[in-house]
Structure 1
Amino acid sequence: MTSDQRLLLVHAHPDDECIGNGATMAKYVAEGRGVTLVTCTAGEMGEILVPELEHLAADQEDRLGEHRKGEIAEAMKVLGVTDHRWLGGFGTFRDSGMKWHEDGHAVAADEVHENAFWNADLNVAADHLVEIIREVRPQVLATYDPFGGYGHPDHIQAHRVAMYAAQLAAVPSYRKDLGDPWEIAKIYWNAMSESRMRAGLRALRDAGDATSFEGMDPDGPLPPFVTADENLSAAIDAQEHVDQKLDALRAHRTQVTTDGPFFALSNNVGSTAWGIEYYRIVKGELGPLGEDGLETDLFAGL
């Protein structure tokens, strides 16, 4: 990768990358920056929204992962990302699945496959990422917060692997066979702005949409994936790339429906709904800030 500025993103399943970072990825590719996406599992346990493809499900033919491999390849073409990798190689770690807790967040399923990412040895999984970090040498890493946004075990594990690998990759004496040491200057956790989410929900409800993001009240408590604005560090305005983001989401057709909440929010709020993506800084110094007190570039100050 020849770009002087390189972003590494670590996600759990295909489609996660488009939801949280699709606009940022498209923007940085367009600007000539390096973008590397690492996906930890193929999403084998995902719910299938296309009836004619239900036979691919884990409890039937168990071929959903192979299908989603094609979906994410198409999504990356839409975003312009040419460096996509599977942690350890395709099929190394399997989607762990999940169930819903009575409190409304995800938790590990009652039965988990022996090869599930949730069961992965942290050192083994992190070493796969250490090798990528030392090869790509990114200045910026973006991944989930410790709760994985909403509690999915694979999101939590991706967070753990990303954070641990970032530390190990910088240690000169650690696993020299995995490449020369590299310290990532800035690390961010993906975030969603509370004020922006409330405004979006209010616009949906005012438009008569009571089903998108069902159960969420614009003036009530919000799920754990929503971040208080005071904890935000960066807002990447990539509204000119929102169509790319939504088209990339459409490529994940087994998981995302065009009449679902993502598209409803975009239709009612416009490009600001999904074209501005938010982050919390975890490591590194904040660079110059924009008018709203947030960085406008993840590479700010580098």
Structure 2
Amino acid sequence: MNITQHTPSKKLLAVFAHPDDESFICGGTLAKYASEQVDITLVSATRGEMGRRMGNPPYLNRETMADAREMELRNACDSLGIRQLQFLDIRDKTVEFVDENSLTARITAIIQEIDPDVVLTFHEKLGGHPDHCAIGKATTAAFQKLDRRGALYFITFGDAMERPERYGYSRKDVVKIDVHAHLDAKLAAFRDHRCQTEIDEWVWLPDQEAKARFGKYEYFLKADRASSTLNHDDLFISTLG
């Protein structure tokens, strides 16, 4: 009898703070790996109900914002190929005030359940927003607590890490992902987050003009700076086996 050998699916877990973090910051990378059949789970700490943008012209309020942004995030997940979405149901702009040990324990349980090969989150100091930094700090603590296989990376903004020395890092600490073939999906996800992007005229230009605003690369910092085994253009190299 012939027994078919199945290669285990690679798994990626992204733990972010708000709806749209996944699309605006690293949507090209998520779309790339989804197209390669990586099983992606996204965890959003909040539903973004305190976002300042409420549509253009405004059509949302504090009572309707959370439901609208959840729906937009689900649409963006479809556009990017993200298969699983979880919410931690923390109120927007309060992640930094949640008990750190409790939040770390929740994320630890998620990591144990999913058993990802790669975990993405925010850098606890370079995240740029208190919610970002807090969820990044808790996710980093959870990952390190488990002392497990796989790799942890911090997402970064735009092309800032083309010159990582400005932030105390070197090029060997940076993974640079080519996303040029996945800008259609990234643009679709931007447009899915409609209430947040309607005010940005460039998002709604003809596709080619809008995509020209995107960089061809997205950048990630290695959490384990001492590691010399990880590749500089693939988050998964040397994390399996």
| Bin of the TM-score, shorter chain as denominator length | 0.7 to 0.9
1:245 aligned to which of 180, 186, 189: 186
Residue matched to 2:34: 29
1:298 matched to 2:235:
yes
**Secondary structure of the structure 2 residue equivalent to 1:13:** coil
Structure 2 counterpart of 1:187, which letter?
L
**Secondary structure of the structure 2 residue equivalent to 1:43:** coil
1:280 aligned to which of 216, 221, 235: 221
1:21-71 deviation per Cα after TM superposition (whole angstroms, max 9, x unaligned): 1111111111011211110000110012414544x323xxx2211111100
Using a 3 Å threshold, how does the CA distance of structure 1 residues 157 and 262 change in structure 2: closer, same or farther?
A: farther
Structure 2 counterpart of 1:188, which letter?
Y
Structure 2 counterpart of 1:193, which letter?
D
Residue matched to 1:63: 64
Residue matched to 1:161: 138
1:193-236 deviation per Cα after TM superposition (whole angstroms, max 9, x unaligned): 33869xxxxxxxxxxxxxxxxxxxxxxxxxx9x89774751111
1:126 aligned to which of 101, 104, 113: 104
Residue matched to 1:186: 151
Structure 2 counterpart of 1:149, which letter?
G
Greater helix fraction, Structure 1 or Structure 2: 2
Structure 1 counterpart of 2:101, which letter?
N
Is the 1:193–1:227 Cα contact (8 Å) retained in structure 2? no
Using a 3 Å threshold, how does the CA distance of structure 1 residues 281 and 29 change in structure 2: closer, same or farther?
A: same
Structure 2 counterpart of 1:129, which letter?
I
**Secondary structure of the structure 2 residue equivalent to 1:4:** coil
Structure 2 counterpart of 1:93, which letter?
I
Larger CA Rg, structure 1 vs 2 = 1
TM-score (normalizing by structure 1):
0.67
Is the 1:194–1:229 Cα contact (8 Å) retained in structure 2? no
RMSD: 2.9
Superposed displacement of residue 5, structure 1: 1.6
Is the 1:6–1:140 Cα contact (8 Å) retained in structure 2? yes
Structure 1 counterpart of 2:124, which letter?
P
* Matches of 1:282 and 1:38, distance apart in 2: 19
Residue matched to 2:90: 93
1:16 matched to 2:28:
no
Gaps of 5+ in 2: 1-6
Superposed displacement of residue 275, structure 1: 3.7
Is the 1:39–1:85 Cα contact (8 Å) retained in structure 2? yes
Residue matched to 1:48: 53
**Secondary structure of the structure 2 residue equivalent to 1:63:** helix
Superposed displacement of residue 286, structure 1: 4.0
Is the 2:77–2:83 Cα contact (8 Å) retained in structure 1? yes
Tell me which of the two structures has the higher relative contact order, counting C-alpha pairs closer than 8 angstroms and 6 or more residues apart: 2
